[in-house]
Amino acid sequence: MAVSENAPAVEAEIIQDEEIIDLKEYFGDAYEEPEKEKRIVTFFKGILGALIGSLPGMIVWVVLGKYRIRAAIVGFFLAAGAVKGYSVFTRKNKLHVITGVFICTAIIVGTVYFAQRLTLSWLMTDSFEETIRVMRMDVTQQIKEENPEVPDSVIQSYIDFRLNSTYGFTKGDFSDCFIHFHRILGKLHMTKAYYGDLIQSYISAAMGAASLMKNAVQKRVRF
């Protein structure tokens, strides 16, 4: 009696298997395409998750940097947040561990660089806007004392020319400092100091990611 009750279920499984075989024969390679699309979606979800996870740490980094507070622990949490965000967003469909390490590393490197550049550009803005304002007043006064008949527009054009030839901008606002960031570092002879500081930031961020990535690698396949 038990055998007869199980018979319909067994027959249903056989029919389902035959239908799958027929689909594979009919569609060929196209039958596997949905699984490939799922991996691609998971890949981009991993990138999004790592970005969102690193965002709180990056915001804290920039805000503290604005007040000239250097905290290595922020880089630690930024990196840990990126790894955790990636893990959460790829929980349902895991990617290979090498793919995960690649995504998290790329996001951490990019966000640390971006946070550092934002912070220094912000600090540069405070300095340059005031410096340029004072310089315009001093140069205008000096030229007026020597040649009172020189129009103000000519003086300002001369100052703009000097600023453009030296730094690439005339205002010194945030967008100027961010766009011409490396040029400013070179003119101020701060390039080596900047990269030294950036390396230290990467080290602190690596410490944050290392523990989580180590656990993933120990599992050998996925995280």
**In degrees rounded to 5, what are phi and psi of residue 150?**
-70, 125
pTM, rounded to two decimals: 0.72
In this structure, the chain runs to a length of: 223
Q: pLDDT by residue (tens digit) across 154-198?
A: 999 999 998 998 888 888 899 999 999 999 999 888 999 899 988
pLDDT digits (tens, 9 = 90+) for 11-67: 545 444 554 445 455 555 554 555 555 788 889 999 999 999 999 999 999 998 888
Q: What is the DSSP string of 80-114?
A: HHHHHHHHHHTSSS--BHHHHHHHHHHHHHHHHHH
Residue 26 tokens read as 């009919």
CA 175 to each of CA 156, 178, 213: distance values in angstroms, whole numbers, following the listed order: 21, 5, 36
Residue 189 is classified by DSSP as T
